[in-house]
Amino acid sequence: MEKDESAFFAEQPEAALLYEAIKAKLRTYFNDATIKVTKSQIAFASKRNFAFVWLPMRKMKHRPEVYIILSFGLDHRIQSPRIEEAVEAYPCRWTHHMIIQDPAELDGEVMDWLQQAYAFSQSR
């Protein structure tokens, strides 16, 4: 893990393992992806950003003790109980947010969504 990535997880180091799993999985699918760390999120990009990881701001009822949020953008809304929230930030630009508490959640369905997000980011 790079220094800026480690600093991102300084207050929630237990979440870093989840991030490392996501990063490894994304690297196998999108080997040209770059990583940009900001104060509030870590973005994965090729031509444009296509996936984001961020930490919960505060503890919330009915949420796991340790988790991260995986966000990605598409031109359509996904209807799935796995999507915690979907927001149409601009016409035909939906941002989807998922809670990830276990690396096993990065299954074929999620990777398909991320491949769609990657393709969508390339087309804009």
Q: At what angle are helices 16-29 and 108-123 packed, to 10 degrees?
A: 60
pLDDT tier for residue 42 given thresholds of 50, 70 and 90 = very high
Question: Does the global pTM surpass 0.75?
Answer: yes
- Find where tokens 């503890």 sit: 59
**Alpha-carbon Rg for the chain in angstroms:** 14
* Each residue's pLDDT tens digit, 61-105: 777 789 999 999 999 999 999 999 999 999 999 999 999 999 999
* Each residue's pLDDT tens digit, 102-111: 999 999 999 9
pLDDT at position 1 is: 74
Range list of β-strands (E), 56-92: 68-74, 85-90
Where in the chain are the domains? 3-123
pLDDT value at 58 more than 70: no
